[in-house]
Structure 1
Amino acid sequence: MKRFAAGLVGVVLLFASAACGAQAPHAVSHVSAPRSSYPVGIRMLALSRGEARPLPTTVWYPAIFAGRDAPVAAGRFPVVVYSHGLHGLPAYHAQIISRWVSAGFVVAAPAYPRTRKDTRRFSRADVRNQPADAWYVVREVVALPAFAGHLDASRIGAAGHSAGGYTTAGLFTAGHDRRLRGGIVIAGAGMAGAFAGPRAAVLFVHGTADPTVPIEAARAAYDRVRWPKAFLALPGQDHGAYLTPGRPGFDRVLATTLDFLRWTLYDDPAARGRLALVS
């Protein structure tokens, strides 16, 4: 597991007034998120969006027992697409992803062809192509026979760290699919044309001492969002130490992101209430 430099303890959550008392985006009914936890299954997919864009994808999902290719647990689960940062891999984020999955979400994480670790043709500029890659992965995963009857394709979320946070923002452009109900931008900011189209919700997570993506960039992106939104600021923290279990801020980041996912993807009013009470 990739480690990040340590930051200082402390969290501030600002929740936009537009979100106060609001239903989850596109909510039709309130269905409580699962109360029990699930073992985590893992499936590796050899996806590709054309010959030039291989997208090997790791899918973590609620399972009957833990392990590779384990049977899927009973139920229908929302889908989250997770995007790694520059020189990253999905496995670097397995600790937080597996905890989301245990709470009742399916998470699909592609390794992007030009920004992943050890790619032979690294290109920072290729991030602009990754939102299309991410949505391709969502479409492929929800169509897999192995998950038939277990995925709720009407409830889709997105999350990502650093360049993956920019990728996540880039999914929410004009004309984006209405099934995309919430995004978590971790240590990232906006992308051209982001935060347009059908109503969704966005959570920003950022260290105040981030040397890679200054928090001002994230706040500027946050200010452009006209939907329900939240900003979780981690005082003194860097570019991602808080994504590692045991590091300062991890427990608060996990609790806040889980409640955000439960609210946006399960229409869970209790989770929404917990978000409102954080200060």
Structure 2
Amino acid sequence: MRVQRLVAALLVALVAGCGPAVAATDDRVPSFRPAPPRPYAVGVRHFVVDPDGSRPLPVTVWYPAEPAAPPHATTPATARVTAAPAGGEAASGPTGSGTTARPDAPVAAGRFPVVVYSHGLHSLPDLHAPLTTRWAAAGFVVVAPTYPRTNLRARDFTRADVRNQPADGWRLIRHLVRLDARPGDPLAGHLAVDRFAAAGHSAGGFTTAGMFTSGHSRRLRAGIVIAGGGLAGSFAGPVAPLLFVHGGADPIVPESVGRAAYARSVGPAAFLGLPGQGHGEYLTPDRPGFAQVLAATTDFLRWTLYDDRRARDRLRADAVVPGVTTLTTRALPVGR
């Protein structure tokens, strides 16, 4: 019954957002420094946005870090970094859980694009670390809020609060823009504050879609909706490329909801399908489809946030394995 109520609530949200979208026509991505040729070590830190406000927002941040000193002179630090290399293959750590993130490790030199990652109902940012740490190793700062009323430990849990989460996402983006200019903060000067993407799973996918409303800031350049769909007002301009990921046998949010959102979206878009799969087992390392989801999302982020056209062109080859995944695209000139 709980599952049925969830599906009904999300379908209502989708139907409420079926109005026409108005979007800008310029979807060009200005040139940026080249995408990293090799993976980074990963650091992790935590902070709270508006700790004394009505909606305090705890945030987990994974980021490219300087490598740790090797324990032995013959062991390079980079040997312990596990991520999607430039070719798009998925590597796994000793336990299959992804890159080991070091708390408060020094941030690597340079500025890095930012991905706002939204968890689903009854979830937490750390439960998505197998994906988010690998994105950080690939050269992205991944910031994951713990939403106040839908997280696993919420004392006043309510799924209806999903409609308020896109505003939380934008509140976090504004905080990060200020943080980048704050003297003394470890991330200051390391955030490419004109290059954000939003991504999320399940209710976090709906949250992500809800951030792309009419008149949204051009700082938000791309979105990844995993096992989600649209909220009221989603997919309006400015145009931003979108990637949808969905299991074909998802019992929580049916694949048809994700495909309807893909059809409504404006501008370049792709739909990565996983036939026969459910609500998110493909986000677990060593499960069928994980390598393709990791490779496709990393390629997509490298293209949209680093202007890496080679990553865009190899997206299809990295994403599609017969019998495991399918890929549909619109106005997205990926390789054949």
TM-score by length of 1: 0.88
Instruction: Tell me the residue number matched to 1:56.
Output: 58
How far apart in 1 are the matches of 2:234 and 2:28?
19
How far apart in 2 are the matches of 1:183 and 1:126?
21
Residue 50 of structure 1: how far off its partner (Å)? 5.9
1:20-76 deviation per Cα after TM superposition (whole angstroms, max 9, x unaligned): xxxx93312264310111111001102237622111100000011351111100111
Task: State the secondary structure of the residue aligned to 2:244.
Answer: strand
Matched, 1:120 2:155: yes
Matched, 1:96 2:131: yes
Instruction: Tell me the residue number matched to 2:279.
Output: 239
Structure 2 alignment gaps of length 5 or more: 1-25, 68-100, 180-184, 321-336
How far apart in 1 are the matches of 2:277 and 2:38?
32
Instruction: Tell me the residue number matched to 1:181.
Output: 221
Structure 1 alignment gaps of length 5 or more: 1-23
**Contact 1:49/1:133 (<8 A) preserved:** no
Task: State the secondary structure of the residue aligned to 2:128.
Answer: helix
How far apart in 2 are the matches of 1:27 and 1:150?
20
How far apart in 1 are the matches of 2:267 and 2:177?
26
Instruction: Tell me the residue number matched to 1:150.
Output: 190
How far apart in 2 are the matches of 1:104 and 1:50?
32
Residue 174 of structure 1: how far off its partner (Å)? 0.2
Identity %: 62
Aligned amino acid, residue 263 of structure 2? D
Query: Given the alignment, which residue of 264, 274, 277 partners 2:314?
Result: 274
Instruction: Tell me the residue number matched to 1:198.
Output: 238
How far apart in 2 are the matches of 1:170 and 1:84?
14
Q: How many residues of Structure 1 are paired with residues of Structure 2 in the alignment?
A: 256
Matched, 1:254 2:294: yes
Segments of 4+ in structure 1 off by > 4 A? Answer: 276-279
Matched, 1:70 2:105: yes
**Contact 1:79/1:157 (<8 A) preserved:** yes
**Contact 2:176/2:193 (<8 A) preserved:** no
1:58-105 deviation per Cα after TM superposition (whole angstroms, max 9, x unaligned): 000001135111110011100000000001100010110000000000
Residue 147 of structure 1: how far off its partner (Å)? 1.2
Residue 139 of structure 1: how far off its partner (Å)? 2.0
Residue 138 of structure 1: how far off its partner (Å)? 1.9
Matched, 1:129 2:169: no
Residue 209 of structure 1: how far off its partner (Å)? 0.3
Task: State the secondary structure of the residue aligned to 2:287.
Answer: coil
Instruction: Tell me the residue number matched to 1:229.
Output: 269
Matched, 1:38 2:73: no
Aligned amino acid, residue 202 of structure 1? L
How far apart in 1 are the matches of 2:36 and 2:153?
38
1:148-173 deviation per Cα after TM superposition (whole angstroms, max 9, x unaligned): 22111111001000000000000000
Higher relative contact order (CA 8 A, sep 6+): 1
| Cα distance change, pair 162–182 in 1 and its aligned pair in 2 (3 A) | same
How far apart in 2 are the matches of 1:250 and 1:271?
18
How far apart in 2 are the matches of 1:106 and 1:159?
13
| Cα distance change, pair 94–241 in 1 and its aligned pair in 2 (3 A) | same
1:236-266 deviation per Cα after TM superposition (whole angstroms, max 9, x unaligned): 1000000010111000000000000001100
Structure 1, 257-266 or 47-56: larger mean CA deviation: 47-56
Instruction: Tell me the residue number matched to 1:108.
Output: 143
Residue 185 of structure 1: how far off its partner (Å)? 0.2
TM-score by length of 2: 0.74
Matched, 1:215 2:249: no
How far apart in 1 are the matches of 2:52 and 2:236?
28
Structure 1, 59-68 or 181-190: larger mean CA deviation: 59-68
